[in-house]
């Protein structure tokens, strides 16, 4: 149950971050975005849930989910313009921002709880 709640909150954060790309009312044409992610793990379930339930399509977005095996490479692809958005390791994003990269980090809620 905790994982389901975490997945739903991940999907909400992801969709709110992508809202600027389109909405059902304003979407005259489908916008294609390239979205990179850096791990095949339960942390990405919010992203895949949004894809599987058609949340992107409802908002006029054709999301191309691209696996890239390293967080720093996701950041490089974002900065190089090959990706429109991405999920990467916090250290890679913060490291790039501290070095002056033009990158907008969007925090993700915790997906685990301590007892």
Q: Are 60 and 22 in contact (CB under 8 A)?
A: yes
* Nearest in space to 66 (alpha carbons), one of 92, 40, 87, 37: 37
**Could you read off the pLDDT of 26-67 as tens digits, one per residue?**
545 778 999 998 888 877 788 888 889 999 889 888 999 999
38: nearest Cα among 79, 77, 82, 95: 77
CA angle 21, 33, 72 (to 5 degrees): 110
- State pLDDT tens for residues 36-47: 988 888 777 888
pTM over cut 0.85: no
CA angle 60, 77, 15 (to 5 degrees): 30
Query: Rounded to the nearest 5°, which phi and psi values hold at 28?
Result: -80, -30
Average pLDDT on 86-109 reads 84
Taking the CA atoms of 107, 109, 111 and 112 in sequence, report the sign of the dihedral they define.
positive
Count of all residues that appear for the chain in the document: 115
């Amino acid at each position: 149950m905790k994982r389901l709640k975490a997945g739903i909150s991940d999907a909400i954060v992801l969709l709110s971050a992508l809202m600027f790309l389109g909405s059902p009312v304003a979407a005259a044409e489908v916008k294609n975005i390239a979205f990179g992610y850096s791990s095949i793990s339960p942390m990405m379930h919010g992203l895949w849930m949004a894809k599987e339930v058609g949340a992107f399509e409802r908002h006029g977005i054709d999301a191309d989910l691209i696996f890239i095996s390293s967080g720093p490479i996701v950041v490089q692809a974002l900065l190089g313009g090959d990706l429109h958005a991405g999920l990467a390791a916090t250290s890679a994003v913060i490291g790039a921002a501290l070095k002056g990269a033009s990158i907008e980090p969007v925090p993700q809620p915790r997906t685990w709880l301590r007892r």
